[in-house]
A and B are shown apart, each in its own frame.
Chain A
Amino acid sequence: MNYYILTFDRKIGSSYKEFHDDFVDHPQFNRWFHYIKSSYIIGTTLAAGEITDHFLKVAERYNLPKIHFVVRVNLSYRGGWLTEDAWNWFGSNSKS
C-alpha cells in the first residue's frame, strides 16, 4: 500500500460535507487522513491517476472545482503543526 497526498482548491462558500462522505467512501481507500481542510492523505493500492479519476468524479457530482494534485509521499519524512490525534495517525501508519 502506498500513501498519497491530495491537495485541492476549495470553492469559497460551498459545503464539502457530502463531497467528503462520498470521496472517502471509496472501497480501496484503506487509510485516509483529513486534518487539513484542503488536503487528504490516502493509503491505498490505487495509482495516483486512479485517485485523480475518483476525485474528479466526486467533484463533478457536487459541482466543485476540479483543480488538485496527487503525489506519493513517505510518511516518515514529516514535520509541521497538527493536533495530537493527527500525529498519532502518522505514528501508527509510518514505519518509524
Chain B
Amino acid sequence: MPHPLNPLDWLKSAQDWFSKTEKSSGFRAYLIFIILVFGMTICLLLFFKDIKYVPEVGLGITVITVLVFLILYVIKSCTDPDFCRSESHIQKVIKLELEKMGTEEKQVEGEVIEAQLLRKSSKEPRKLPTSSTNRKEVQK
C-alpha cells in the first residue's frame, strides 16, 4: 500500500501510470513538465518581476526547456516514429503488416489463416513404441 507522504511512492505511482497508459502518452511527462515551467515563469514574471534577475532567470528556464523539448522531440521522431501515435492506430498498422503465413509452397495473408475454419487432425496420434525398460517396469 503506497504511503501518501512518501515521495518515492508517488514517483512509483506515476511510473506505473505511464507504463500502463498508451504508448502515445509516453511523451506526456515532458509536456506536463513544460506546462509546469510555463506556469512557474508566469508566476515569476507576474509576482516577482521587481526582484533582480528574476525575469531573466524565468525566461532563461523557459527557453532552455523549450529547446530541450524540441531536441528530444526530433530524436524521438527519428528513433521511434510511433511515440506520438495512438495505440489503436499502431495496432491497425501492425495488423496490415502481418506477415504472410503458410508454407514454402503456399503463403497466404496471416489474417486469412486466422479467419479459416480449423480442423482437428484426421489422424490419431500414434502411440510411442514401448521400450524393453518400460515393459520391465510394467511387469513389476
Contact = CB atoms under 8 A, between A and B. Distances in A.
Interface residues of B, number: 30
Contact of A89 (B91, B103, B110, B125): B103
B104 A24 contact: yes
B99 A82 contact: no
Nearest to A43: B104
A16 B120 CA distance: 27
A85 B117 CA distance: 11
Contacts of B97: 15, 17
Nearest to B121: A79
B106 interface: yes
B99 A20 contact: yes
Contacts of B99: 15-17, 19-21, 34
Contact of B118 (A76, A78, A82): A82
A80 B90 contact: no
A8 interface: no
Contact of A84 (B91, B119, B124): B119
B36 interface: no
B51 interface: no
B115 to A, nearest CB: 10
A31 interface: yes
Interface in A53-91: 76-85, 87, 89
14 contacts: A13-B23, A16-B98, A16-B99, A30-B104, A31-B104, A32-B103, A32-B104, A34-B103, A76-B126, A80-B120, A81-B118, A83-B118, A84-B116, A89-B105
Closest 7 pairs (CB-CB, A-B): A20-B99, A15-B97, A83-B116, A17-B99, A79-B125, A81-B118, A79-B121
